[in-house]
Amino acid sequence: MFRLFENLVDPYAPHAQDDTPPARLWPFLREYSRPFARVFAATAVVAVAVAAVEIWLISYMGRLVDLLSDTDRATFLADHGWEMAGVVAFVLLVRPALQALDVLLLNNAILPNFGTLIRWRAHNHVLRQSIGWFENDFAGRIANRIMQAPPAAGEAVFQVFDAITFALAYLIGAAALLWVADPRLVIPLAVWFALYAMLMRWTMARVGPASKASSDARSLTTGRVVDAYTNIHSVKLFAHEGQELSYAREAIEKARTTFQNEMRIFTIMDVSLVTLNGLLIVGVVGWGVGLWLGGHASVGVVAAATALVLRLNAMTGWIMWALSSFFRSLGVVEEGMETIAQPIQLTDAPGARPLVLTEGAIAMDGVTHHYGGAQGGVTDLTLHIRPGEKVGLIGRSGAGKSTLVKLLLRFYDPERGTISIDGQDIREVTQDSLRHAIGMVQQDSSLLHRSVEDNIRYGRAGATEAQVEAAAAKAQAHDFIADLSDPEGNRGYAARVGERGVKLSGGQRQRIALARVILKDAPILVLDEATSALDSEVEAAIQDTLYGMMEGKTVIAIAHRLSTIAAMDRILVIDEGRIVEEGPHDALLASGGLYAQFWTRQSGGFIDPDADADTDAAQVAE
């Protein structure tokens, strides 16, 4: 039975991906609620039915009091026995069944699946954002919003059906019951409801913004704390625990004060609510007693009215908290929407097709990109790389080398100019196919907090164990991998490497990253300081592997050790975003230009340790 209700909605069902999700709260929730439309409708009907049963029970209690008062004890069962048996059967069988249906729909069909659907689709949406989008926010804050918003949306839905729908139906039923008993009993109820509605309006107008501010402050705190944990090596290295505590305390204090402001609203609400409920009890029960004294109402009517207002008195606090929770949850969702409802700026073109790579020719024509600023990046850069050509890139820090690579991978779109591979504009092909065609080893290759095998297989899903180990051996990583272990007892290729690979040395991480790219075997290869973290002995050992990787591929290699790119077909010198020199190693040395200056500042292709500070500043570093 549980599985029947749990499977009414599949949160992972295929859905149309929207690059521009609704930016306003209600359209946003309505879009995510579409798969639940029928379940929501059924739950609303059942919630109204449950409220109607509760009202009927109170009404019947009044009838029972009158029957007990007016019927002779000797003939009571003979006159009303079957009626009593029917009521007993209804209370013991029908009412529990209706209640069971209500909670099964709410607790098993909606709550587990609604939050899951939002989290799954939100994560899907966020993963499609560009690199630049992630670079502009805390990873911790993004994750916090992905984790907070879905359960908050689920809580809002829960309150709609568990409290709000039930309460509205109950209030309407209560008014109808009092009207049938004596229309005058509705007057104190109506006055109370008007005051109660004013209190709710006052509370809700303040709870939403206060909740959003509190949620935003919590996300800020999470972002700062996670930032410190992620960069714990730098924190420890510079002995800045105190500075990080102060940085976090500022956010934690903001979270405390925003939460205090939120709680003040609830305190005022609670005190006001108790006062209003006192007026309700005195008004309805007092009026009922007055009607009985005047002979206008029976004892049963007074009993039913008393039971009703006492029930309302107990419910009003719950309803107010439910409404507060509803609007507070909406505030959390709204804060989360600042991340999960942002449009995707860098998208595949309509009708984009997979890249068809035939030769591996790369063409950049008039490319300009400055990240929205006036400096940095590349300016009017034109570069044609022939199929299978090996090109080295050098230049000072900030010269534009990494920008060129990011544009090739389409992590950003150029502000002007075009980039094409084998004559296909990369903006007209799918991003996935473009990146499948390019293998890249970065200077700082972070790893996933998974096993070594999983990290290497990231290069080619479905690779066999033998292929994974062969790639590791080519990257000179197999021997040290065999000796790895983790606290869970996993060894070798099954050992976990820690967040971003922190359990490994820089050289070990780099060799696993190399193995991953070797396994990928993409036709275009980008090496961004691929051997910078390796010692000279290991670097020399894998040079043959690197040259083997380059065979038959179009290669772009960024290097600071000029000796590692001296054998390239062509070397490009980039300065202030422009190509200022190009040619083979010998020709550039002979020209006596910037490349020759870099070379003379190095000994055998390595940075000269005796170079002065001014010289160091001019050396290649990125």
Give per-residue pLDDT as tens, 99-109.
Answer: 899 889 988 99
pTM metric for this prediction: 0.73
The residue with greater pLDDT, 509 or 464, is 464
User: Is the pLDDT score of 386 beyond 50?
Assistant: yes
Q: Note whether 185 and 175 are within 8 A (CB).
A: no
Rounded to whole angstroms, the Cα distance separating 13 from 261 reads: 41
Parallel, antiparallel or unpaired: strands 362-369 and 416-421: antiparallel
pLDDT-derived band at 433 (thresholds 50, 70, 90) equals: very high
Instruction: Return residue ranges of the chain for CATH 1.20.1560.10.
Output: 19-340
Q: Could you tell me the pLDDT band of residue 509, with boundaries at 50, 70 and 90?
A: confident
Q: Which two tokens stand for residue 462?
A: 């479905």
Find, among 465, 201, 177, the residue nearest to 307 by Cα: 177
Confidence of residue 443 (pLDDT cuts 50, 70, 90): confident
Angle between helices 506-520 and 465-474 (to 10 degrees): 120
Q: Which of 160-164, 203-207, 423-427 has the highest mean pLDDT?
A: 423-427
pLDDT at residue 565, rounded to an integer? 82
More confident residue, 432 or 443: 432
What single-letter amino acid sits at 41? A
- Looking at per-residue pLDDT, the higher value among 249 and 499 belongs to 249
Query: Which H/E stretch holds residue 250?
Result: helix 241-293
Q: What is the pLDDT of residues 581-599, one digit of tens each?
A: 999 999 998 998 888 888 8
Q: What is the rounded CA–CA span in Å between residue 70 and residue 48?
A: 33
Q: What is the pLDDT of residue 513?
A: 87
Residue 609, pLDDT above cutoff 60: no
The pLDDT, as a whole number, for residue 504 is 80
pLDDT (tens digit per residue) in 291-326: 778 777 777 777 777 777 777 776 776 777 777 778
Q: Are 397 and 458 in contact, with CB atoms under 8 Å apart? A: no
pLDDT(622) > 60? no
Which tokens go with 53? 């049963």
- Among 1.10.645.10, 3.30.420.250, 3.40.50.12590, 1.20.1560.10, name the CATH number for the domain at 19-340: 1.20.1560.10
Report the SS3 class of residue 137.
coil
- Of 3.40.190.10, 3.40.50.970, 3.40.50.300, 3.30.460.10, the CATH number of 355-437+522-622 is 3.40.50.300
Q: Find how far residue 548's CA is from the centre of its chain.
A: 41
* Kind plus residue range of the DSSP H or E element containing 295: none
Contact 456, 518 (CB under 8 A): no
Contact predicate 25/330, CB 8 Å: yes
Does the pLDDT value for residue 273 go beyond 50?
Answer: yes
How confident is the prediction for the chain on average, in pLDDT?
83
- What DSSP designation does 400 have? S
- Residue 602 pLDDT exceeds 50: yes
Return the pLDDT at 532: 62
Model confidence at 615: pLDDT above 60 = no
Give the residue among 539, 512, 546, 613 at the shortest CA–CA distance from 392: 546
Instruction: Please state, in angstroms and rounded to a whole number, the distance separating the CA atoms of residues 283 and 281.
Output: 5
What are all long-range contacts of 289-297, with beta carbons under 8 Å and residues at least 24 apart? 291/182, 291/184, 291/185, 296/182, 297/181, 297/182
C-alpha separations of 3 from 14, 109, 111, 296, 309 in Å: 21, 9, 14, 54, 39
**Choices 3.30.1330.10, 3.40.50.300, 2.30.30.40, 3.30.930.10: CATH for 447-521:** 3.40.50.300
Amino acid at 227: D
What is d(CA 270, CA 277) in angstroms, rounded to the nearest whole number? 11
Closest of 211, 212, 208, 219 to residue 251, by C-alpha: 219
Give the integer Cα–Cα distance in Å for 619 and 396.
6
Element housing 559 (H / E):
none
**pLDDT-derived band of residue 607, with 50, 70 and 90 as boundaries?**
very low
Report which secondary-structure segment, H or E, holds 131: helix 131-135
Enter the tokens of residue 600: 């003379």
d(Cα 525, Cα 439) in Å, to the nearest integer?
5
CA neighbor of 361 nearest in space, from 344, 385, 339: 385
pLDDT at 621: 34
Q: Which pLDDT does position 391 carry in this prediction?
A: 94
Query: For residues 330 and 303, what is the distance between their CA atoms, to the nearest angstrom?
Result: 40
Residue 384 confidence class, pLDDT cut points 50, 70, 90: very high
pLDDT at residue 606 greater than cutoff 60: no
How confident is residue 117, by pLDDT bands cut at 50, 70 and 90? Answer: very high
| 620 pLDDT above the threshold of 60 | no
Amino acid, single-letter form, for residue 522: A
> How much is the average pLDDT of 20-36?
88
Residues of the chain with pLDDT > 90, as a percent, come to 24
| Segments of the chain assigned to CATH 3.40.50.300 | 355-437+522-622, 447-521
Calpha distance 298→279 (Å, rounded): 23
Whole-angstrom Cα distance, residue 58 to residue 53?
A: 9
Say what percent of the chain tops pLDDT 70: 93
Contact 255, 218 (CB under 8 A): yes
Spatial neighbors of 13 by CB under 8 A, at least 6 apart, are: 35
